């Protein structure tokens, strides 16, 4: 429980959208009904079934956050959800203490660095790159291309954070190492915990040995979904990551809302609080302290525990 640990919790990897209506790799992603979406040729349960209108809104997320005692969240973006820049700009304006939002550019077409500059001018403090989606059947966008490097220099100059997920294993590690070398002051958050269920994940995790690089655990409960709660293998991955790079380089992320089709939002972190494999100090750093420092959250809300009717 948050009160027992004497800490405030921050989610470093979440998503918001009003409606999915896009394509990736030539395939459709589209909101249906009862929380379902057409996703790359398949009908999937994208949201919990009670979200019948398909709207994954900030207000619904805030209700989940308040219930689970999560003080703030970082909202990243994914091509499979469609570009949500306009909506997230509104979210940041309405709830500045609760959300840190990341903009998204069309990296498949020239001119995306100009898009990034416009997003920065509009107040975005983070830019998201779903790097694993930059490899399609027709094209591979390199993270160390000249236009990418130009964008990263602009971000570094303005103190804008890069939130990035990488392709499995070490496929893009060499590219991002060039970025780190070229832009050593650029703050980078590596997503999905480096994909610890995939061979070579350690190479992604070791990127956090660089001064301004962090790793967040968005989607870790999904990666170990077949094992299910309380996700002992996820705890072992966290323990191994602490040994590799230090707990101060790691942040918790939920990958909300996709992960809560299988578990509740609170369950996406309380398997950590209930673990005997981590110290209270490690839990506090991982679940909120590190993200507060890295993203610059201030005046975090204090959320009381509300007893369930069934308790």
Q: In this prediction, what percent of the chain has a pLDDT beyond 70?
A: 98
- Helix or strand holding residue 99 (H, E): strand 99-104
Q: What is the pLDDT of residues 150-184, one digit of tens each?
A: 999 999 999 999 999 999 999 999 999 999 999 99
Distance CA 81, CA 15 (A): 9
3-state secondary structure of 156: helix
3-class secondary structure per residue, 170-233:
CCCHHHHHHHHHHCCCCCEEECHHHCCCCCCHHHHHHHHHCCCEEEECCCHHHHCCCCCCCCHH
User: If you search the block for the tokens 């350690």, which residue do you land on?
Assistant: 202
Handedness of CA 266, 65, 30, 102 (dihedral sign): negative
Distance CA 32, CA 46 (A): 10
Distance CA 7, CA 285 (A): 9
Q: What is the pLDDT of residues 31-58, one digit of tens each?
A: 999 999 999 999 999 999 999 999 999 9
Mean confidence (pLDDT) of the chain? 96
Give how far Cα 230 sits from Cα of 19, 65, 101, 241, Å: 32, 20, 29, 18
Q: State the pLDDT at residue 1.
A: 40
pLDDT at 3 exceeding the cut of 70: no
| Furthest C-alpha separation in the chain | 57
43 burial via Cβ count (<10 Å: 0-12, 13-18, 19+) = exposed
Give the residue among 125, 67, 114 at the shortest CA–CA distance from 92.
Answer: 125
Q: What is the pLDDT of residues 180-208, one digit of tens each?
A: 999 999 999 999 999 999 999 999 999 99
Distance CA 65, CA 71 (A): 7
Counts of helices then strands in the chain (DSSP H, E): 12, 12
Q: What is the pTM of this model?
A: 0.95
pLDDT at 4 exceeding the cut of 80: no
């Amino acid at each position: 429980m948050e009160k027992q640990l004497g800490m405030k919790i921050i989610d470093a990897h979440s998503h918001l959208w009003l409606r999915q209506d896009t394509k990736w790799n030539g395939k459709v992603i589209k909101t249906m009904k009862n929380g379902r979406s057409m996703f790359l040729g398949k009908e999937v349960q994208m949201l919990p079934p009670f979200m019948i209108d398909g709207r994954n809104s900030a207000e619904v997320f805030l209700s989940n956050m308040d219930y689970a005692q999560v003080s703030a969240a970082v909202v990243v973006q994914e091509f499979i959800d469609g570009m949500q820049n306009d909506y997230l700009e509104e979210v940041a304006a309405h709830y500045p203490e609760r959300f840190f939002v990341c903009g998204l550019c069309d990296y498949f077409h020239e001119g995306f660095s100009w898009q990034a500059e416009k997003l920065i001018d509009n107040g975005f403090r983070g830019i998201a790159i779903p790097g694993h989606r930059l490899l399609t059947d027709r094209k591979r966008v390199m993270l160390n291309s000249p236009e990418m490097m130009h964008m990263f220099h602009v971000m570094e100059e303005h103190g804008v954070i890069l939130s990035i997920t990488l392709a499995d294993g070490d496929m893009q590690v060499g590219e991002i190492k060039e970025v780190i070398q070229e832009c050593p002051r650029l703050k980078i958050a590596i997503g999905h915990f480096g994909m610890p269920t995939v061979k070579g994940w350690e190479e992604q995790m070791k990127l956090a040995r660089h001064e301004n690089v962090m790793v967040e655990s968005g989607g870790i409960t999904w990666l170990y979904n077949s094992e299910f709660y309380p996700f002992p293998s996820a705890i072992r991955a966290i323990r191994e990551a602490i040994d590799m790079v230090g707990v101060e380089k790691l942040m918790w992320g939920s990958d909300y809302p996709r992960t809560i089709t299988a578990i509740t939002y609170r369950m996406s972190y309380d398997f950590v609080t209930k673990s005997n494999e981590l110290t209270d100090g490690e839990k506090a750093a991982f679940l909120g302290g590190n993200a507060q420092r890295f993203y610059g959250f201030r005046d975090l809300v204090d959320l009381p525990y509300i007893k369930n009717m069934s308790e």
